[in-house]
Amino acid sequence: MKQNIHIITLGVANMARALAFYEEGLGWKRSSASQGDIVFYQLSGMVFALYPHDKLAEDVGVMAAKQGFSGVTIAYNTTSEEEVDSVLTKVTSLGAKIVKPATKVFWGGYSGYFEDLDGHLFEVAYNPFVTFDANGNLKLEA
């Protein structure tokens, strides 16, 4: 298997509410490849998708009931501590819940966590040890 992730799909309880959060609230643009129940967003080098939670569980072959922390977070990296604060303020105004307010963290950066409208955990972080290329892709090595 090549070292790559192409699509992250989140199961959502209410598609209309999720679309309002990502599109109207965050300003994300839906891909024309979206069809039926699945909605795609082209990100920098990968794709983010929304699909009904129960249908995603059925596709995987697991129970749809949620049971505590899933062990998965999704990270959005910024170019400054101020941008972290701005993003967390924005998502809060859209109904997201702050799980961990932004703070200086043990690894030398600044980050906080929010829970989206379906309980998915997102970290918003400023990492002074990474850079971005011209397309906004995160680069671990300088």
Give the integer Cα–Cα distance in Å for 83 and 77. 9
124: which strand partners? Answer: 76, 112
pTM (global) more than 0.85? no
Helix (H, G, I), strand (E, B) or coil at 6: coil
Give the integer Cα–Cα distance in Å for 109 and 2. 29
Helical residues (DSSP H) of the chain, grouped into ranges:
15-19, 53-60, 81-93
Domains and CATH numbers, the chain: 1-64 (3.10.180.10), 71-142 (3.10.180.10)
The one-digit pLDDT tens for each residue of the chain (142 residues) are 778 888 999 999 999 999 999 999 999 999 999 999 999 999 988 999 999 999 998 887 878 887 777 778 999 999 999 999 999 999 999 999 999 999 999 989 999 999 999 999 999 999 998 888 888 888 877 5
Residue 94: CA count within 13 A, CB half-sphere: 23
Q: How far is CA 95 from the centre of its chain?
A: 15
Q: Measured between alpha carbons, how far apart are the two ends of the chain, in Å? A: 25
